[in-house]
Amino acid sequence: MPTPHNNAQKGDFAKTVLMPGDPLRARFIAETYLQKPRLVNEVRGMLAYTGTYRDQPVSVMASGMGMPSMGIYSHELFTEYDVDNIIRIGTAGAVSSSLHVRDVIMALASCTRSTYAEQFGLPCAPAAAASYALLKAADQTAQEMGIKAHIGTVLCTDTFYDESNTLAQWQKVGVLATEMESAALYYEAARAGKQALCICTISDCPLTGESASAEERQTDFHTMIRLALNCTVSL
């Protein structure tokens, strides 16, 4: 049955869903890469499509920005639509000095200052970690494609305009990049007993000022998209 946020029917989603944040990027991916894509959701403008890639069913759906939005959509996909795998494909800001615009990263784990995990009633926040099977498949796919993917920890934050100015401190403890959705996705996958992975392209480097344009963020970053799609073939 449809949910308050999704008018798709049971069976409309494939077992694997790619989730960019931007609805327009979801449409771009579906129209560019999927065979016979069909629109399965447009509630609140969160476009979702299902088609095939290399004869494998795959869906792509926007998550919106931030952990609350990702938490809603990933939770419903896992629990209401029987989705088994969600791969977030989005943008991130570089924290590590070794990263540059258009570099690809895979989030092995996600640290966060968010209170999202307080709902579980635990004495401390549980680790927000990627599913090993998805990470392994993506790493192997990257190697086969000749893509240099950086694997490590990311910072998942609730604030884009942040006055704390702590990125340099996060750099000291090995954080690769900062983004806004991975921790909620990893928590929801753990709660549902499903699999999740966050793959991001560096869109800007806050500590150096290097940045991609808004148009590039919407329609570029093909390396990350092809990596995620080719990873789904092996699942």
Please compute the mean of the pLDDT values over residues 23-35 and round it to a whole number: 96
Q: What is the Cα–Cα distance from 168 to 164, expressed in whole angstroms? A: 11
Per-residue confidence band for 219, with pLDDT thresholds at 50, 70 and 90: low
Please compute the mean of the pLDDT values over residues 52-70 and round it to a whole number: 97
Q: What is the Cα–Cα distance from 16 to 83, expressed in whole angstroms? A: 6
- Note the pTM of the prediction, 2 decimals: 0.95
Please compute the mean of the pLDDT values over residues 186-198 and round it to a whole number: 98
More confident residue, 4 or 50: 50
Please compute the mean of the pLDDT values over residues 105-119 and round it to a whole number: 96
- Binning the chain into helix, strand and coil, the percentages to the nearest 5 are 35, 30, 35
Please compute the mean of the pLDDT values over residues 158-168 and round it to a whole number: 86
CA dihedral 13, 19, 162, 178 (to 10 degrees): 140
Residue 220 has pLDDT above 80, yes or no: no
pLDDT at 61: 98
Burial bucket for residue 98 (CB in 10 Å: 0-12, 13-18, 19+): exposed
Q: What residues form DSSP beta bridges with 53?
A: 56
Please give the CATH superfamily to which domain 16-233 belongs. Nucleoside phosphorylase domain (3.40.50.1580)
More confident residue, 160 or 216: 160
Task: Indicate if 55 belongs to the active site.
Answer: no
Which residue type, as a one-letter code, is found at position 2? P
Per-residue confidence band for 77, with pLDDT thresholds at 50, 70 and 90: very high
Residue 217 has pLDDT above 70, yes or no: no
Q: Which of 12, 103, 204, 220 is catalytic?
A: 204
Task: Give the up-direction half-sphere exposure of residue 190: CA atoms within 13 A in the CB hemisphere.
Answer: 16
| Domain residue spans of the chain | 16-233
